[in-house]
Each structure stands twice: as C-alpha cells, then as structure tokens.
Amino acid sequence: MAKIQMKTPLVEMDGDEMTRIIWQGIKDKLLTPFIDLKCEYYALGLPNRDATDDQVTVDAANAIKKYGVGVKCATITPNAQRVEEYKLKEMWKSPNGTIRAILDGTVFRAPVIVKGITPSVSTWKKPITIARHAYGDIYKNSELYVDGAAKAELLVTYADGRQDKKLIHDFRSAGVVMGMHNTDASISSFARSCFNYALSVKQDLWFSTKDTISKIYDHRFKDLFAEIYENEFKDQFEAAGIEFFYTLIDDAVARVIRSEGGFIWACKNYDGDVMSDMVATAFGSLAMMTSVLVSPDGLYEYEAAHGTVTRHYYKHLKGEATSTNSVATIFAWSGALRKRAELDGLEDLAAFADRLEKATVQTIEEGVMTGDLMNLSTLPEKHKVGTMEFLDEVAKRLS
Ligand code: NAP
Ligand code: MG
C-alpha cells in the first residue's frame, strides 16, 4: 500500500523521559508505516536545550510561526534537583512557557472519552473543553497584609501625569488587600483564540465571568468578547452552525453539570485553573487529557496534558516492565496531523488521523489497556498491557 504523502512539514518537538520513549514508539509503530512523515525536527529534550542554551526551544516556536502546526512531547521543566541530575548550565525556563510567550496563545484541554471509563457526572456524553486564559488576574497580583488601622486606595498614574484614585477600604484593624490587572490586548488575544478554536472543532463556545459583581473588570472581558464576536466572527459562526454565548459563572457551572458535554468553556485565569482540574478529574484520568495551544492568529501546538512520567522512566531504566498510557500523546499526533491535513487539503491524511484515534479508543474498549486505566474501567473483561504492547495492539487495529 502506498504511503500517505504530506505537503507542509509538521513541527516535531521531541521531549524527555518516558514520554520520549513513547514518542519514538508512536512514530515507529503507528505513523511511519502509513505516512511519509514530513517533519521539521527539534530536540527539546533537556540535554539539547542545555547544549543550545535553550535556543532550540525558541527555534521550534519560530518554526510553528512559519509552518502553522506543531506537535510536542512532554518535557522536563528543570528545578534544582534536575540541574544536579543533568549537570545543567542553568535552570532553564519551562519550554511551554517559552513557546507560549512567543506564540501568545490560549491552552485548550479536552478529555478522550472511551466506553468503560464513565465520567463521574452521569449526563456527560461528550468531551468538555476548557479554554483557560493564561495571563494576569491573581497570578500577577500585588498583595499586602495591613497590620492595623489604615486607608487602602487604588491609584493609577498615567504617562501624562493624570491620576485616578479609588478607596478600597478604610481599615479599622488588620486585614489584607490585593491589586490585580489584565490588559485589553491579552483579553482580546484570548477571545480570538477561543473563537478560532471553536470554529476549527465546530463546537459551541461558552464564556463566563462574574460581571454582575465586577462591573468594570469582569465586564471588560464580557464586552471585548462581544465586540470581537460581532465584528470578526459572527458570520463564520453562523455559517458553521455553532453558537457563542455569554453567561454568569454561577449559571455556567450549573449548566455544565446538567449538560451532555460537547462544547468549549472559556474561563478567566483562576476559573480555568480550578474548573479544568474539576472537569479533568470528573472525566477520569490525566493520561487521557489532550491539550492544544492556539494562538490568536491561528497557529496550533498539540501535546499531552501530563508530564514526562518520571517514576515510570526510572523503572524503565532499571529494566523493569512499564505500563505507561500513550493515549494523550497519540491524540497530540492525530490532532496535529488532522490540522495539517485541513490546512493543506489532504483528505487521506485527515482520514488517517480519524482512523488512528478510532483504533486507539477501540483498543481500550476491547479491554486492552495500560495499568492506570485498569482501576477506572468498568469493563467486565480487561487486561493490562505494557507500554509498547499497547502501541502494538493499536497498530494491529489500525492496519
Ligand atoms: P506526570 O509526568 O504527569 O506524572 C505524575 C503521575 O501521574 C505519574 O507518576 C503517574 O502516576 C501518573 N501519570 C501521568 N501521566 C501518565 C501516563 N501517561 N500513564 C500513566 N500514568 C501517568 O507529572 P510529574 O511527575 O509531576 O512531572 C514529571 C516531569 O514532567 C517533571 O519534570 C515536569 O517538569 C514535567 N512536566 C511536563 C509537562 C509538559 O511538558 N507539558 C507537564 C507537566 C509536567 P503513578 O506514578 O502513580 O503511576
Ligand atoms: Mg490547577
């Protein structure tokens, strides 16, 4: 059988530890037998980041800017212990942080749903994707402990010397005070990323804040989303048959729990942090959670939501058998290939991405799974397989 051909290269970012081993396994067993893979390869594993003074991470992000789509393996974010372990020149920054700073995007996380692993919320039938704004609010705050009677004020001094002042609180005794911010530019980028992503997956977009209480701050989010929607996306949404709607966060929570799933929920930074953990846990497992970074100008970077699974890697190094779940990493590849196919008009490549996902889900639904899923799955007959054995089982169903 002739292999599927690609047009534009996919930006491939290799990584570390157990996921690096899975990465190679996926390429060898699930991709290269079927596709003439055209990738521009960047070794983002920690040793090469160190050797290149982290230039390789910057180069990879710029390559995504050039080609439009990337796929990334999990990577180590070094801490003091890793500096020691890998004899690093420096404690390099998180590659995801570096890439996000260059592409300026929003991260969308969605679970892979399989029969036998039922969400804790019985009505959920389809994945719920959380889009978390990843800039500002309490994550970039300034806060103070007020240790006695004091007047706390909010003061803004403009470049031209003008000032705006507001009383926060007249403290009679000790307490706490906090200032935080966001920018129109960042909120607008977030909105555009969400609208673009909703169009690309053809799902409704929900957005929620607490604008009834925060009449200026949260209201600014609501207004910018509404304005950008009206001016830039409304026609495209209508043509795609999808909906954008805004609702109060309390109402959104209630609706999400009663829903069937199958939509994108855009959240402010803190809401997204909390709600994505809630949604991920309710759907089952971090190993089944995919993640995609979408930039406001429509660049895509796919990856798994989990890390490099260090504990399993150390077992692997000792020659012990491992049973590490590769589903999220497989779906990172299928997502990236499908996007590449869409941009280049390659129907056979898009069909392959669908087949790869189907074969993966089918494997688990037929009771063949890695150790982490054994306790979660309610299938009556199931058996545990090793890391590479799982990939072989998927390959069998793929061909
Ligand atoms: P982790 O790699 O996500 O693993 C934490 C634990 O979750 C594992 O020990 C394992 O539990 C379970 N797990 C996660 N993914 C799994 C999978 N695919 N299959 C089976 N079990 C899975 O998080 P971590 O141990 O905190 O971080 C390890 C390294 O990853 C760190 O150096 C961190 O910097 C990096 N990291 C990278 C990214 C990224 O690149 N996006 C994200 C997060 C963390 P058991 O041990 O109980 O089996
Ligand atoms: Mg969190």
Predicted local distance difference test score (pLDDT) of residue 10: 98
pLDDT band at 134 (very low <50, low <70, confident <90, very high): confident
Summarised one tens digit per residue, pLDDT across range 251-281 is 999 999 999 999 999 999 999 988 988 898 8
Residues near ion ligand 2 (Cβ under 5 Å):
273, 277
- Considering every ligand atom shown, identify the ligand nearest to the alpha carbon of residue 139 and give its number: 2
CA torsion sign for 248, 254, 259, 265 is positive
Predicted local distance difference test score (pLDDT) of residue 280: 85
Domain ranges, ordered by start, for the chain: 1-111+289-399, 118-140+181-283, 142-179
The full 3-state SS of the chain, as one line of letters, equals CCCEECCCCEEEEECCHHHHHHHHHHHHHHHCCCEECCEEEEECCHHHHHHCCCHHHHHHHHHHHHHCEEEECCCCCCCHHHHHHCCCCCCCCCHHHHHHHHHCCEEEEEECCCCCCCCCCCCCCCCEEEEECCCCHHHHCEEEEECCCEEEEEEEECCCCCEEEEEEEEECCCEEEEECCCCHHHHHHHHHHHHHHHHHHCCEEEEEECCCCCCCHHHHHHHHHHHHHHHHHHHHHHHHCCCEEEEEHHHHHHHHHHCCCCEEEEECHHHHHHHHHHHHHHHCCHHHEEEEEECCCCCEEEEECCCCCHHHHHHHHCCCCCCCCCHHHHHHHHHHHHHHHHHHCCHHHHHHHHHHHHHHHHHHHCCEECHHHHCCCCCCCCEECCHHHHHHHHHHHHC
Nearest protein CA to atom 30 of ligand 1, as residue: 307
Summarised one tens digit per residue, pLDDT across range 177-216 is 999 999 999 999 999 999 999 998 999 999 999 999 999 9
Closest-CA residue to 204 (of 255, 153, 169): 255
| Calpha distance 283→305 (Å, rounded) | 14
- Given a cut of 90, is residue 60 above it in pLDDT? yes
Predicted local distance difference test score (pLDDT) of residue 297: 82
pLDDT band at 103 (very low <50, low <70, confident <90, very high): confident
- Given a cut of 80, is residue 42 above it in pLDDT? yes
Find all residues with CB under 8 Å of 262, minimum gap 6, and list them.
Answer: 125, 126, 127, 128, 203, 204
Predicted local distance difference test score (pLDDT) of residue 277: 82
- Given a cut of 90, is residue 220 above it in pLDDT? yes
* CATH class name, domain 118-140+181-283: alpha beta
pLDDT band at 135 (very low <50, low <70, confident <90, very high): confident
- Given a cut of 90, is residue 224 above it in pLDDT? yes
| Calpha distance 266→109 (Å, rounded) | 11
Q: Which atom of ligand 1 is nearest to the CA of 327?
A: 18
| Calpha distance 329→332 (Å, rounded) | 5
pLDDT band at 399 (very low <50, low <70, confident <90, very high): confident
Nearest protein CA to atom 37 of ligand 1, as residue: 307
Summarised one tens digit per residue, pLDDT across range 112-122 is 999 999 888 99
pTM of the predicted model, to two decimals?
Answer: 0.89
> Does ligand 1 come within 6 angstroms of the Cβ of 310?
yes
Q: Do domains 1-111+289-399 and 118-140+181-283 have the same CATH topology?
A: yes
The average pLDDT across 91-111 equals 89
Predicted local distance difference test score (pLDDT) of residue 382: 96
Summarised one tens digit per residue, pLDDT across range 159-177 is 999 999 999 999 999 999 9
**What is the share, in percent, of the chain residues with pLDDT greater than 90?**
86
Report the b/e string of 242-274 with b at 16+ CB within 10 A. bebebebbeebbeebeebebebbbbbbbebbbe
CATH of domain 1-111+289-399: 3.40.718.10
Q: Which of 46-60, 97-111, 267-281, 291-305 holds the top average pLDDT?
A: 46-60
Predicted local distance difference test score (pLDDT) of residue 74: 97
Nearest protein CA to atom 10 of ligand 1, as residue: 309
If you measure from the C-alpha of residue 275 to the centroid of ligand 2, how many angstroms do you get, rounded to a whole number? 8
Q: Kindly state the tokens that stand for 127.
A: 């994945």
Predicted local distance difference test score (pLDDT) of residue 210: 97
pLDDT band at 302 (very low <50, low <70, confident <90, very high): very high
Nearest protein CA to atom 8 of ligand 1, as residue: 309
- Given a cut of 80, is residue 1 above it in pLDDT? no
Q: Which atom of ligand 1 is nearest to the CA of 15?
A: 40
Predicted local distance difference test score (pLDDT) of residue 264: 97
Predicted local distance difference test score (pLDDT) of residue 71: 98
The average pLDDT across 349-371 equals 97
| Calpha distance 347→4 (Å, rounded) | 10
